[in-house]
């Protein structure tokens, strides 16, 4: 258990869209359901993301950082090598922005509908800084990695090859949706159509992201006491 003197885990949320998972975290913290946690800021890569409105309403500072608007890529670029190089530079700059000494540094990054796959240029400096990154994905471990996971599961339901899917919160590594699971929830198909299934999956995503955040935030806060010893005795 953490003592009353412990400060909460500093969390950075990254979101690209509507921000319903972001809102679930805001609500859980405000009601006391999610303890040991404080959202220090939001980063978005889309200027019209509704997550920005949610941040403003909650009094959470936000930052807009986009590979095209910030000059890392030209709009409409199709050359694969140029795209890869631009994304690497964007990732490196974004990591540097997060780790900047003139800002409050997070201890945990939560990808809550973040529509960008990170390369090692982002992940490696964040890992060296001992900042954990977690993501929510609407599929079970090892099933339907990547985009359109709910749609792909639904196609399997219709053929009779599957009767269940699920959701996982997992650590982020350089392989898409392959990081170690933190929390997993299996969901049976109830015969509904795709849109109804999506709605039900999103409802459970909100629960799972709060549960996973609670688990990891507590580990971070409790681990602070051990970190000095680890540094002294590498």
Instruction: Please give the full DSSP string across 48-66, using - where no structure is assigned.
Output: T-THHHHHHHHT--EEE--
CA distance 11 to 8: 9
What local confidence, expressed as pLDDT, does residue 104 receive?
Answer: 86
Give, as one character, the DSSP assignment of residue 45. S
Answer whether residue 4 shows pLDDT above 70. no
Answer whether residue 227 shows pLDDT above 60. no
What local confidence, expressed as pLDDT, does residue 6 receive?
Answer: 76
Q: What is the per-residue pLDDT across 176-217, written as a single tens digit (0 to 9) for each?
A: 999 999 999 999 999 999 999 999 999 999 999 999 999 999
Answer whether residue 24 shows pLDDT above 60. yes
CA distance 103 to 81: 33
* Packing angle of the helix pair 149-159, 194-223 (nearest 10 deg): 130
Percentage of the chain exceeding pLDDT 90: 91
Query: Which of 116, 137, 204, 206 is flagged as catalytic?
Result: 137
Mean pLDDT of the chain: 93
State the average pLDDT over residues 59-77.
96
State the average pLDDT over residues 63-71.
97
137 catalytic? Reply is yes
Answer whether residue 5 shows pLDDT above 70. no
CB 129 within 8 A of CB 105: yes
Calculate the alpha carbon distances from 68 to 41, 62, 63, 64, 114 in Å. 22, 18, 15, 12, 16
Q: What is the per-residue pLDDT across 164-180, written as a single tens digit (0 to 9) for each?
A: 999 999 999 999 999 99
What pTM was estimated for this model as a whole?
Answer: 0.91
Answer whether residue 148 shows pLDDT above 80. yes
Percentage of the chain exceeding pLDDT 70: 93
Going by C-alpha positions, the residue among 180, 149, 178 that lies closest to residue 166 is: 149
């Amino acid at each position: 258990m953490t003592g009353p003197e412990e400060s909460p885990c500093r969390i950075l949320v990254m979101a690209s869209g509507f921000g319903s998972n972001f809102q679930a975290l805001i609500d859980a913290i405000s009601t006391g359901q999610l303890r040991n946690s404080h959202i220090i800021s939001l980063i978005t890569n889309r200027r019209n993301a509704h997550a920005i409105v949610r941040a403003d309403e909650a009094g959470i500072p936000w930052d807009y950082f986009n590979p095209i608007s910030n000059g890392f890529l030209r709009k409409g670029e199709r050359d694969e090598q140029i795209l890869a190089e631009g994304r690497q530079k964007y990732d490196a700059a974004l990591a540097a922005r997060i780790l900047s000494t003139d800002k409050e540094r997070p201890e945990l990054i939560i990808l809550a509908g973040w529509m960008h796959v990170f390369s090692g240029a982002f992940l490696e400096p964040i890992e060296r800084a001992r900042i954990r990154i977690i993501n929510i994905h609407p599929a079970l471990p090892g099933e339907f990695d990547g985009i359109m996971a709910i749609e792909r599961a639904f196609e399997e339901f219709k053929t009779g090859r599957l009767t269940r899917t699920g959701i996982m919160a997992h650590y982020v590594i350089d392989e898409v949706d392959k990081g170690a699971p933190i929390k997993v929830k299996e969901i049976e198909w109830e015969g509904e159509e795709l849109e109804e299934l999506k709605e039900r999956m999103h409802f459970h995503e909100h629960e799972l992201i709060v549960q996973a955040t609670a688990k990891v935030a507590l580990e971070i806060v409790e681990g602070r006491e051990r970190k000095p010893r680890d540094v002294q005795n590498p």
